[in-house]
Each structure stands twice: as C-alpha cells, then as structure tokens.
Structure 1
C-alpha cells in the first residue's frame, strides 16, 4: 500500500520547523509529526483539545526514544478527564523534561480582542509565547506555518442558519491573527485549510480581502492550480481518504520566492479494498446504545480478515479507545432502523415520510435529511463537529446496532490511528474529531511540502 512506501520522506534527519495555529486536536499536525517536522508550537483555544495535543506530543516524544511501552501504560490506566495529570505522572517521573516541554509548546490561548471577549488573549502575548517555544527548541527560523481558522461562518450550512448575522461574525476576521503570526515569523510558506465557502463568502469579497492582507505583508496566496478559485475545491476522497470531504488548501509563500502551487496528489493513497464505511470500521466491536468504554482500552475482537486500511489504523496500537455508544431514546432508535433499512436499499430517509407518531419537529420544509446513515458499501459522507450535539447525521449502518457512531468510529472515518487518544468528556471528543483535518490528508500535505520546499531551496 502506497502509504507505507512514502512514510517517512524525511530520511536524512533534516528537520523543518513548523508552527500550528488553530490546532484543534491536531489532525493537521499529525501528518507533520509523522513525517519528521519539528512542531515548535501549537496554539489552540479549547482546553480539552490542548490535552489531546499534549497526549499526542507525548506519544511522538516516546516513539522517538523507542519507549512506547510507557505510553501504553498510560493508556491502560484509563485516564478520565478528571485525572489526566495524575495518570501522566508515571511518564513525567521517567521523563521530567516532558512536563515543561508540553507547557511551553502547547499554548492554550484564544485569538481575539480581550476588550470584546474576556476569554481572548492579545496577539502580542501569543506571539511572545510562540517565541518562547522557539527559544526552548533552539529554533531561529520557521519554515512553515499551518492551520485553518474556525470555518463555521464561511460554510454554506453556517450561512444558511445564521443568515445576515454571518456578515458581522468575528470569526470571519480570525485570519488576520494568522496573518500577524506569519508576518512576525516570516516562514517561507504557509498552508491555510478551510471550507469551500471561504471562496464565495460575501460574493468573494472575503477571499479577496484575505489575499490583499497577505499581499500587504509580502506574501502571495494561491487557492490551487487554476486561476478560477472555485475550480480549486478539493474532495479529500479523491486523494484516498475514506470520506467525502470538500475543502480548500490555500498555499501562501514569500512573494520573492516565486513558488507555484504544490502537487498534493503526488502522494495520494491507493487501497487494496473498497472505499466504504465498512472498510473503515467493520473490525471494531459492535455495541448496543449506551455500551462501550470512553477511556479504557478495549481489546480488538479479531486479527483475522483485516483489510489494509484497518491494519494501518491498528499500527502501534494495543486496543480500542474512545469507543462508547451514545444512549438513545427508543423513538429515535425506531427512526434509525427505518433510516438504515432505507439506506440498505440505496435510499435516503425523508423526514416527511416518517410515521406521524415518530415526528417531533414542526419544521417539515428544510433539513429533511436530518437522519442520515453512513451507507455500508459507500464512501462515508463528511463528519463534522455537529456530531457532538446528536448522532442523527452519523448513523451506523448495522441494523442490529441501530445507533450513532462512537468517537472511535468517527475517528476511523477521519483516519485517526487507533493509538490516538482523544481527551476530555465525550462531547469534547466528538467536537475534536469533527473539526479535524483527516490525518492521512495532512500526511500527504506534509510529504508534498517537504519535498517541494527542499527542491525549491
């Protein structure tokens, strides 16, 4: 399988230094970790996502030292979100430098204006924190900045729900803080991941402003190979990710370098199995609603009959994490069964078609596909953060289970490896998974950019 052949591209020990902004749980960072970059600093506003980033940084630190056994000991402790630090003591006792390293490199701060948002931090303070992380790592030059400001206000669904209020949404302006970091550290290039709506927001005015802002600090911004921005929307499924996920990858570079847009398809993945929901999750234990484990490590049910995707997900893993099914009301479970039966016949449930006794929504003119199954033999649809609110749009295709996806099943669709532990309450875990860049896609981005920047230099 091509993934094994390509990883790791950075075989000579050359480190490229990267800063990750709006990190979330680290889906984008994962591909850069795996491909030998030095992740100097990560900035993320959410407390639980930062705990996940710390756990993942621990994993890579221990992997470099061929000491994953102690990481697995941590996983076996089943650390819940109330005792994470206590359980990490066994790691810190052996590697005391890790505690300081994590406190410096993972920056739990929110971009914004403190006079408007009391939870926000001044940009100058965040810049100071990143400089401290660079100094801690003896880094004097940043090669690359990665990240994507929160995208809800650019998404078509967001604009439909928020209507005209989206025009004044402060999230539209978060790219300005990204620009400030770029201007301060002057990397050769940056990658800016976002939803396609960023190209059409305010009839293209938002994207035009973004390009002008970066041009003002000496950077050229490209949305893809075509001069027509709308032709540059990517579906990550075309690159081998087992999920339809349409996004744009904006590539910026110092204008004097005269780069072109990289070829992210150079490392696209080919599988020896069907691209389907069951390819991604069929080896995970079946669960009744409300059953499973949030934090403990569950054993794999079988080592037989695994496809190459499942083998990849199980690499360096001792079992299954974050695999507990939501409890579900009996009425919703009846609806799920109807939706699954329809999906198994190639049909999408229309809310209007439900028996009257099962209808609880007055709105029968929009969102009629609010119950949606990831069809067994089809490519999964996009997993988004709304999965944290209910599971209606992420129904498991097995009629016997008739429930929504667990965090681990959603993570499998997103291509997070099984040894990737999501910290925090289950709701926070779902948000982290739904907001993430699929790690397999980030791996392709990281490999392409490493070779691109090396050859260009």
Structure 2
C-alpha cells in the first residue's frame, strides 16, 4: 500500500512540458511524492500532462480503475459516465494546468493553489521543472545567429527562470530540482554567461529578487559531478 496524501511530500512542477521530470518522482514505489500542481503553457504538452495525472489518480484508486485510461489511450474511447472516473478526470484537470508563467493572472492562480496546499518553509515540499531551453540550446542559438535582428538581451526566454526563482523566494521549498540543456553552460547574454547569473540568483533568491536577505540561501548541487555552488563560491 502506498503512502497517503498526508504523508507524501508535495511537489510543484513548473514549465513541466509533458511531465517527464514529474514522472521520475511520481513513479517511485510507495508514493513518497505527490504532485499537487503542474504548469505548462503548450496545449499539446499540457494534454499529455493531464492524461498522466489522470493515470496516477486512477492507479492510486486500485483495482480495475486503470482500464478507462488504457481504453482512452489505445482505443480513443470516451470516458465512461461513472462518478468515480469523472471525479478522477476533474482532479487531474485541477492538478495539470495550462498556464503561461509570467502572465499576471496565471501567476496569481498558481500562487493561490500553492497557498491552498499550505506550502511554505515550515512544510517540506519540492519544486521541480525545466525553464524553457530554446534560447540556451546549441541548436536554438545556431538558429538565432541566422536572424539579423536577433538580440539575446531581448529574448524573454533567457529570463523565464526568474518565474521559477519567484516561487523559490516566496514559498521556500526545502529542495528544488531545475533541469536544462547542455548549451546553457556556454550561453551568454550581454557578454556574460547566463548560467553564472542563474547560479547566483538561485543560491540567494532574496538578493536576486530585491528583497532583504533575511533567510538562508541554497546550496546548488550538480547531479552530474561533485561541484557545489554556494553564495558566489564554487566548491569542489
């Protein structure tokens, strides 16, 4: 038997795409984590995100409840007119949201959901996600070089990580996991490596958002080597 929702560690998934990172957390045995909300702007990725939320909800219900999910995926059949199934779909639709982070109304909706779930520094929870990588990726940068009027400083995608940072500063997750592409290490904006700015901002979210640094910062650990970044100091 899996953990119940009261014992599971809540997860917020931003820039979720179709939900690959969330799948890793939610596929662990005994349900140690539970996605409470995921946000994605692309309608096709969001459709997959909602479908996988539906799968997880039905799986937790047990028994033969997953059949409607497989029928929907394999046969394209409509959901049965069953109260439990319809309720599960409604719950999935409330969990997986099509939001454009940076939009004031969508940000307000996300904040309301986070507060409704009681997330904050007094409660252990995890923030995950991958801010858009098209501006950083090697392929994306190659395409941008072919545009005579392209200016990295004017590409808002370079700075969408600040929407992720806003949540960190405001609600203080115990842990956050941010993924991105290989090209981010060499990407520059205004002659400066954007990755250095991201590390500095994530390690001290109060300073980065113009707030008084009255709380502890974060230690940033690489998942591919032993490097640690902490308040401007790179440690081996």
Report the TM range for the smaller structure's normalisation: 0.7 to 0.9
**Kindly tell me: are residues 108 and 77 of structure 1, through their superposed partners in 2, closer, same or farther at Cα, counting changes over 3 Å?**
same
Distance 1:76 1:157, change over 3 A: closer
Q: Please, which of 179, 202, 216 is the counterpart of residue 165 of structure 2?
A: 179
Distance in 1 between residues matched to 2:35 and 2:72, nearest whole Å: 23
Q: Is the 8 A contact 1:149 1:194 kept in 2?
A: yes
Shift of 1:158: 1.2
Give 3-state SS (helix, strand or coil) of 2:127's partner. Answer: strand
Q: How many residue pairs get matched?
A: 206
Give the conservation status (yes or no) of the 8 Å contact 1:62–1:68: yes
Pair 172,92 (structure 1): closer, same or farther in 2 beyond 3 Å: farther
**Which residue is 1:73 aligned to?**
71
What is the deviation of 1:44?
Answer: 0.7
Structure 1 Cα separation of the partners of residues 144 and 199 of structure 2: 25
CA distance in 1, matches of 2:128, 2:181: 15
Partner of 1:219: 218
- Which of 5, 19, 29 aligns to 2:12? It is 19
Aligned-pair CA distance for 1:45: 0.6
Cα deviation for residue 113 of structure 1 reads 4.7
Quick check: 1:146 aligned with 2:146?
Answer: no
Selected match of 1:97 from 84, 87, 95: 87
Offset at residue 12 of structure 1 (A):
6.6
Which residue in 2 is equivalent to 1:108? 98
Q: Over the residues paired in the alignment, what is the CA RMSD in angstroms? A: 3.1
Change (3 A) 1:143 1:130: closer
Aligned partner of 1:193 among 160, 168, 179: 179
Matches of 2:74 and 2:139, distance apart in 1: 40
Match of 2:49 in 1: 53
CA deviations over 1:264-288 (Å, ceiling 9, x no partner): xxxxxxxxxxxxxxxxxxxxxxxxx
Please report how far the alpha carbon of residue 95 of structure 1 lies from its aligned counterpart in structure 2 after TM superposition: 3.3
Q: CA deviation at 1:93?
A: 2.9
Secondary structure of the residue that 2:17 maps to in structure 1?
Answer: coil
Structure 1 residue 207, shift from structure 2 partner:
1.3
Q: 3-state DSSP class of the match of 2:158?
A: helix
CA contact (8 A) 2:187 2:194 kept: yes
**Comparing both structures, which one devotes a greater share of its residues to strand?**
2
Greater shift in the superposed pair: 199-208 or 30-39: 199-208
- Report the alpha carbon displacement of residue 62 of structure 1 after superposing the two structures with TM: 1.5
Contact 1:19 1:142 in 2 (8 A): no
Per-residue displacement from partner, 1:102-134 (whole Å, max 9, x unpaired)? 2322221101256xxxxxx453343223334x2
Shift of 1:252: 8.7
Q: How far off is 1:204 after superposition?
A: 5.3
Structure 1 spans left out of the alignment, 5+ residues: 1-9, 80-86, 115-120, 228-250, 262-457
| TM-score between the two structures when normalised by the length of structure 1 | 0.40
Structure 2 equivalent of residue 418 of structure 1: none
Q: Which has the higher contact order (CA 8 A, sep 6+)?
A: 1
Q: Write out per-residue CA displacement over residues 217-253 of structure 1, whole angstroms, 9 at most, x where no aligned residue.
A: 22232335344xxxxxxxxxxxxxxxxxxxxxxx999
* Change in 2 beyond 3 A, CA 1:92/1:189: farther
Contact 1:18 1:38 (8 Å CA) reproduced: yes
Deviation at 1:91, TM superposition (A): 6.4
User: CA–CA distance in 1 between the matches of 2:222 and 2:192?
Assistant: 13
For residues 138-175 of structure 1, the C-alpha deviation after alignment (integer angstroms, 9 at most, x for no partner) is xx835211110110100112112112533421000000
Contact 2:53–2:96 (CA under 8 A) maintained in structure 1: no
Q: Is the 8 A contact 1:159 1:166 kept in 2?
A: no
